[in-house]
A and B are shown apart, each in its own frame.
Chain A
Amino acid sequence: MSEGTPVLRTEGVRKRFGSLEVSRDISLALPVGARHALIGPNGAGKTTLINLITGRLKPDAGRITLDGQDVTGVPAAERVRRGLTRTFQINTLFPGLTPIESVLLAVCERKQEAGQFWRRLTGHAEAVDEAFAILKQLRLDDVATRETRHLAYGQQRLLEIALALATRPKVLLLDEPAAGVPKDESAALFAVIAALPADMAVLFIEHDMNLVFKFASRITVLVAGAVLVEAKPEIIRSDPRVREVYLGQGHHG
């Protein structure tokens, strides 16, 4: 793929719940290796957009393409297999499984080995090694065999990302990865995000503006379901409309 071709693109995506228009004509393009932040006040439709991109919701109009292929009608699981993966704002994990089991499951699903019922789990040695390497990368190796429900909250947030990484995404959508994590710990979480492979395109929702300006190379501001502006961080920072509509709410004075 050439340099400029976006790996993920939405074209004129629309979604309405009854009379409420939650997504109005949203067009985005993520090039390979993008670090793209999606910001906007509560209820702007950020998570809805993620749900539309990942196939959890069906858009009323518009197109979503991955690697140039139209995936608008493709089921969610198939999009993941093609390299479009998300994490959840509210932990959506396997509470009764351990991290090693959870990540191993995701690796096996990617390798299309999860349906094999005659091979012992430990027979998937390569997959086990890969799962453990992912946990190690996210510093979860010490708690690899502890039930997910007993993990600290911050560790559960990391496991969210570990599960997504196990699918080997080309495009990773992070829905408020640091949601609920104390400020002093969210830096550690973003250190993990900063260390993601350079060729992986990342779209993330985040409320902490310091983190957004630190990690994003491009920012889209969403207001009331529509793109208000999309630009580089330094332009967003000084844009009066953004200050008024978004930053103004949390940064009075």
Chain B
Amino acid sequence: MTVEMTTSGPAATWLKRRSRISAIEIVFWLATLLPFFLFPSYLSLASQIAIGALFALSVDLILGYAGIITLGHAMFFGIGAYTAAILAKHGWGEPLTGLVAAAVVAGAVGFVTSFIIVRVQHLALIMITLGLGLLTYELANSFSTVTGGTDGLGVTIWPIFGRFDFDLWGYTAYSYALVILFIGVLVARRIVNSSFGLALTGIRENSQRMPAIGSVYRTHLQKIYVVAASMAGIAGALLTQTTGTVSLDTLSFQRSADVVVMLILGGTGRLYGGIIGAIIFLVARDRLSDMNPQYWYFWIGLLLMAIVLVMPGGILGGLSRLFGRFVR
């Protein structure tokens, strides 16, 4: 209430309202528990979706907020996946420390590459991220003694807290992935609602102006790039741990492209866009590939074009515009 007392009352209240947790968010998180009761035979898919959502969230932080376009973010996903796998292979299958290790390694690689990333823009940026992704893929391919090459690695993960074993039905897997996704959203939420988050949006809105208000904005970009790399690494490690395997596919260009598609379907710069996109994309893949395993990308392509043409802000952007009109 002290905020209302100051002269900047209305503006401060408005700023506060922007970061408030909405009823829809609470409903959404309650709905994520539904698979346990309604689709218990699809819990493995649900955990894949949660992992995809965390990965898409990490891309949203750099693409949706800071405006860094990437077609190589799978490198961090894969690095995280392999970090967890290699740890487990060498006798340390404890999941939570595995996640931490994946975050640290992916974040460190993110930090090193961030020096190139913040120096380029537009097409060059896409090509650099793409190139780094391809490089990482082939490195993993050629160091087959460590990574298992095209065969990948099968690993044994210990029970979480020494108690919850990864079961065949995916109860533990989904619970675990969901909790980590929830924490990821909380962290991302905190970031985008901070002054740092505001600075990132400023860079996206007009990077030309940033130096003119005294901002050394490359530092901001490097920081968020490292955060996004770590988060992608955690998502990758989750995939390794919940499936007990890792393959080169985690590093593939396809994965980098898919995650951007998910994010654009759902809507960029909205935190939940990646989650909604992951649900639609992965459910569609599951359903469509049952019907027609070879051509399912046809429908994804069609959906992607339809969304981009009809709802430039993605599904969430379209919904919020519709809702805004409705309220007015």
Contact = CB atoms under 8 A, between A and B. Distances in A.
A248 B197 CA distance: 52
Interface string B204-231: 1110111111111101100100000000
Interface residues of A, number: 53
Interface string A2-42: 00000000000000000000000000000000000000000
Question: Residue among B195, B197, B208 with the most chain A CB within 10 A?
Answer: B195
Contact of B223 (A85, A108, A110, A117): A117
A104 B212 CA distance: 14
Question: Residue among A88, A114, A131, A135 with the most chain B CB within 10 A?
Answer: A114
B220 A114 contact: yes
A109 B215 contact: yes
A132 B208 CA distance: 24
B193 interface: yes
Given A54-B212, A122-B12, A167-B213, A108 B199 contact: yes
Contact of A166 (B3, B11, B213): B213
B195 A119 contact: yes
Contact of B195 (A93, A96, A124): A124
Contact of B11 (A75, A76, A100, A106): A100
Contacts, number: 155
Nearest to B210: A77
Contacts of B18: 121
A81 B10 CA distance: 29
Interface string A95-109: 111101110111011
Contacts of B14: 98, 100, 144-145
30 contacts: A77-B210, A77-B216, A77-B217, A78-B214, A78-B216, A88-B209, A93-B209, A94-B201, A96-B204, A98-B14, A100-B11, A104-B198, A105-B215, A109-B213, A114-B196, A114-B198, A114-B199, A117-B191, A120-B19, A120-B194, A121-B19, A121-B194, A121-B195, A122-B15, A124-B195, A125-B3, A128-B8, A131-B8, A163-B212, A167-B214
Q: Which 4 A-B pairs have the closest CB atoms?
A: A132-B8, A80-B214, A117-B196, A94-B205
Interface of A: 54, 75-78, 80-81, 85-86, 88, 92-98, 100-102, 104-106, 108-110, 113-122, 124-125, 127-129, 131-133, 135-136, 141, 144-145, 163-164, 166-167
